[in-house]
A = this chain, B = another copy of it.
């Protein structure tokens, strides 16, 4: 037990304990983990628990694959604000002869990827990104409720088990007027904190900002914080820093503008989303309740159906 009330002193302690208990395995690349069945079944239980809190019960739900159309990704403008986190996919589209040339470069230890070309897909940087390009551009008066689940890639290799390179999020998304989007963001923040509290996690909300890139990014991050656009649901897993296990985000008209989604008056729709970090919540559960699922509090196991 760490001094500050957090269950672990450092991310290293947490990672080592979970690995030794077989909860996950590290690999040759920092931030890439092989999950155990215990991890997986807890994660699915978390998703079920989160899905049990839905209010707009006729909202479409989608599970995205871990790739998305490149053109739609570019529309999100993520490349402008977070280039260092992006994962672009290259493919080989050549002939037998070009293949032989590629293999020759590979054997010489050179950059064989120079023989590849950009594919039609990239890795999603955020789980709701594949959603916006598939919505009707005329947003109805009542707004749109959407739910989605999937994998995000963020290129930020780290030994902190909370910073995985690929992780899952379940999102509740709302598209509509500014008032509709803001109400969604705020109502879901309360609902989210309650849902996570039911899992025995001592969670609280904090104003937050995204890690915008570079000098201009510093200003964008400050503006996001000042404008209270983003709140995180955080829990203390180590003494080093709080761990965000979910976030509630008001996008203003960013996606409405870039994807051409508009309200009846012709102005760009606003949107907001709440994301439940399924892998982060799972990590928090193992950190707070211990590595042996059978020993977790009965009400937590019941909520997770495991």
Contact = CB atoms under 8 A, between A and B. Distances in A.
Interface stretch (A110-118, A266-274, A285-293): A110-118
Contact of A119 (B87, B93, B151): B87
A211 interface: no
Interface string A62-77: 1111111101101000
A80 B130 CA distance: 32
B65 A164 contact: yes
B63 A29 contact: no
B96 A215 contact: yes
B65 A37 contact: no
A86 B117 CA distance: 11
A39 interface: yes
A172 interface: no
A118 to B, nearest CB: 5
Interface in A14-54: 25, 27-29, 32-37, 39-40, 44
Contact of A120 (B29, B40, B61, B62): B29
A25 B88 CA distance: 23
Contacts of A69: 27-29, 32
A66 B25 contact: no
Interface stretch (A98-106, A182-190, A219-227): A98-106
A134 B27 contact: yes
A28 B65 contact: no
A102 B83 CA distance: 9
A159 interface: no
Contact of A74 (B87, B106, B116): B106
A120 B213 contact: no
A276 interface: no
Nearest to A157: B120
B130 A34 contact: yes
A140 interface: no
A89 interface: yes
Contacts of A80: 103
A133 interface: yes
A91 interface: yes
B35 A63 contact: yes
A283 interface: no
A155 interface: yes
Nearest to A166: B65
A117 to B, nearest CB: 9
A84 interface: yes
Given A37-B63, A86-B91, A86-B116, 17 more contacts: A28-B71, A29-B121, A34-B63, A34-B134, A65-B164, A65-B166, A65-B167, A67-B166, A83-B92, A83-B99, A84-B91, A87-B91, A89-B123, A90-B113, A113-B118, A119-B155, A121-B165
| Shortest 8 CB-CB contacts between residues of A and residues of B | A66-B66, A35-B63, A96-B214, A65-B166, A34-B62, A83-B92, A28-B69, A91-B155
